Structure 1
């Protein structure tokens, strides 16, 4: 076990940087946080473990795990105060530093297979919540655009309850360019055909707009809406969950 007590240590500085999408992309690492998520992951460790981080009151979860027989996993012990700086969502449980997988690019000529959700979401909590609903309601894959946050952000993984580590994820280019170059896309918007009345085809792409800008300036979109009363609109991920549920009901 390697003890670290200085905030100038290169490992500690790198780990604190992993609380942002930029840091994750820069260092090629992300941190899995949360006892339940870690136990689920260790039951099927499909990402390379680069390190385990503990403090003085925590025992290693990898040292006695069968994976330790096939992979050398460095274990680092931090003082509690420093540990808490890395544990940005406050799990107070062991942390695993993992190596993210390369996100493949979407074939621009590929047709939709099942319900594919395009998610230009920069807010990690929104992306995580969307992914959780996507797993629940038969989404075949999520497509991230350049504006999307990384799916390996700790807040995104937490909000997804681990769904982001299970869903097929692809990447595309800029949101506006991608949407305007594909005529078979349906946009979830405040104005459009009711999702409840829409005759959902088995194969289609549904784009979820970021709250605020939405689809302003983008013309020619097929639009679907979740009708509301008493409020102008719903949170983007709430509306998306209702739409995904409606699709799943049509194809149950």
Structure 2
């Protein structure tokens, strides 16, 4: 076990960097946080474990696990104060440093297969919440644009309840360029056909816009909406969940 007590330690500084999308990309690591998420992950450890981080009141979860027989996992012990700085979502449980999987580029020329969700969401919590609903309602893949938060951001993984580690992820270029060059895209917007009455095709790409700008200025999109009464619009991820449920009902998933 390796003990670290200084904020100037290279490992500690790198782990602090992993609380941002930029840091995750730079270092090629992310931190899995949360007792339930870690216990679920250890049932099927399909990401390489780079390290385990704990403090003096915690016992290692990898040392006695079968995964330690196939991977050499360094264990680092921090004082509680430093541990709590790394534990940015406040789990107070062991942390696992994992190696992200390569996110393959989407073949934009290929037709959608089933429901594919485009998620140009820069807020990691919103991205996680959207992916949680997408997995619940049988989406086949998540498409991330250049504007998207890292799917390995700790807040994204927490908000997704681990769903981001379970669904195929693909990447594409800039959001506007992508949606303007694809014909099988349906945009969830304030103005459009009621999702409850829409005859959902089996294969389509559903795009969720960032709150605020939405799809203003984008022409030629197939637009869908979740009608509201007494309020202008819903939170984007709430509206998306309703639309995803409507799709799942149409195709007899529930």
Shared topology, TM-score over 0.5? yes
- Number of aligned residue pairs: give it: 252
Superposition RMSD on alpha carbons, in Å? 0.5
Other structure's SS at 1:23 match: helix
Q: CA deviation at 1:184?
A: 1.6
Q: CA deviation at 1:214?
A: 0.6
Does 2:171 align with 1:171?
yes
Aligned counterpart, 1:126: 126
Q: Displaced runs of 4+ in structure 1, greater than 3 A? A: none
Task: Write the distance in 2 (CA, Å) between the matches of 1:237 and 1:153.
Answer: 18
Other structure's SS at 1:139 match: coil
Task: Write the distance in 2 (CA, Å) between the matches of 1:7 and 1:248.
Answer: 49
Deviation string, structure 1 residues 161-202 (Cα, Å, up to 9, x no partner) = 000000111001100000000022110000000000100010
Q: CA deviation at 1:69?
A: 1.1
Q: CA deviation at 1:44?
A: 0.2
Task: Write the distance in 2 (CA, Å) between the matches of 1:114 and 1:199.
Answer: 14
Aligned counterpart, 1:65: 65
Task: Write the distance in 1 (CA, Å) between the matches of 2:124 and 2:212.
Answer: 16
TM-score, normalised with respect to structure 2: 0.99
Residue pairs, 1:77-96, within 5 angstroms: 77-96=77-96
Does 2:59 align with 1:42?
no
Other structure's SS at 2:140 match: strand
Aligned counterpart, 2:17: 17
Aligned counterpart, 1:53: 53
Does 2:139 align with 1:139?
yes
Aligned counterpart, 1:209: 209
Q: CA deviation at 1:216?
A: 1.3
Task: Write the distance in 1 (CA, Å) between the matches of 2:123 and 2:20.
Answer: 11
Other structure's SS at 2:126 match: helix
Task: Write the distance in 1 (CA, Å) between the matches of 2:120 and 2:11.
Answer: 31
Aligned counterpart, 1:76: 76
Task: Write the distance in 2 (CA, Å) between the matches of 1:68 and 1:122.
Answer: 35
Q: CA deviation at 1:217?
A: 1.4
Task: Write the distance in 2 (CA, Å) between the matches of 1:114 and 1:231.
Answer: 32
Which segments of 5 or more consecutive residues in structure 2 lack a partner in the other structure? none
Other structure's SS at 1:187 match: strand
Q: CA deviation at 1:108?
A: 1.8
Aligned counterpart, 1:225: 225
Q: CA deviation at 1:115?
A: 0.6
Which segments of 5 or more consecutive residues in structure 1 lack a partner in the other structure? none
Other structure's SS at 1:96 match: strand
Q: CA deviation at 1:241?
A: 0.2
Aligned counterpart, 1:157: 157
Aligned counterpart, 2:8: 8
